């Protein structure tokens, strides 16, 4: 049986995390991030739940997750899951959007899963450069190609992609954080 491998590299110049999961069988429970997650499935079939919709993802599928998009993932075949992805903060995304469009506004991805050969090629090429420590100019050029295509074809203003219950979620998180702190200080 193939051993699970999880690899992550932070690119200091571009301020982007690149990560790779190989041989994964564990499910990922429902959660969300405060950053964007963009990736490509390299192997395996999974059922992805995102914002109360179910997607079947497999080799070549490109998940596009906005900050706050709740999602979960479970294996749907007998194999393992291989995936490469990027974690991108809102601040870095603002810079990328401005560079690609001339407007300093956050994009919101209108689809959570796409199958687009050009995007997949750009994403794989950029991901490999980050993982292997390629020169700055080549990485930046590759990143701008990727994000220009993503923003042009799959984005809307971020506010139109935020779930209606986002404020409720934020209030619940604040409550849980305050409750946790009070539990620790009361002991």
In order along its 187 residues, the chain shows pLDDT tens digits of: 568 999 999 999 999 999 999 999 889 999 999 999 999 999 999 999 999 899 999 999 999 999 999 999 998 998 899 999 999 999 999 999 998 888 899 999 989 999 999 999 999 999 999 999 888 888 999 999 999 999 989 987 655 445 555 566 667 667 777 766 666 666 5
186 CB-near residues (< 8 Å, 6+ apart): none
Residue 62 pLDDT: 97
Q: Evaluate whether 75 touches 41 at the Cβ level (below 8 Å).
A: no
Residue 160 pLDDT: 46
Return d(Cα 92, Cα 54) in angstroms, integer: 29
Residue 110 pLDDT: 87
Instruction: Indicate the DSSP class of residue 158.
Output: G
Spatial CA neighbour of 58 closest among 38, 82, 37: 82
Residue 135 pLDDT: 81
């Amino acid at each position: 049986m193939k051993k699970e491998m999880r690899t992550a590299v932070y690119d200091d110049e571009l301020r982007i995390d690149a990560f790779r999961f190989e041989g994964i069988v564990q499910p990922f429970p429902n959660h969300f991030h405060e950053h964007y997650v963009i990736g490509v499935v390299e192997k395996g079939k999974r059922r992805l739940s995102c914002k109360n919709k179910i997607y079947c993802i497999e080799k070549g599928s490109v998940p596009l997750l906005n900050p706050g998009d709740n999602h979960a993932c479970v294996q749907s075949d007998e194999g393992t899951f291989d995936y490469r992805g990027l974690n991108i903060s809102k601040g870095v995304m603002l810079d990328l959007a401005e560079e690609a469009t001339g407007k300093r506004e956050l994009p919101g991805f209108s689809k959570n899963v796409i199958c687009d050969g050009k995007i997949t090629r750009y994403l794989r090429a950029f991901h490999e450069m980050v993982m292997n420590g390629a020169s700055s100019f080549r990485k930046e050029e590759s990143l701008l190609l990727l994000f220009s295509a993503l923003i042009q074809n799959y984005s809307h203003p971020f506010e139109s992609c935020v779930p209606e219950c986002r404020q409720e979620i934020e209030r619940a998180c604040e409550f849980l954080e305050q409750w946790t702190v009070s539990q620790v200080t009361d002991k």
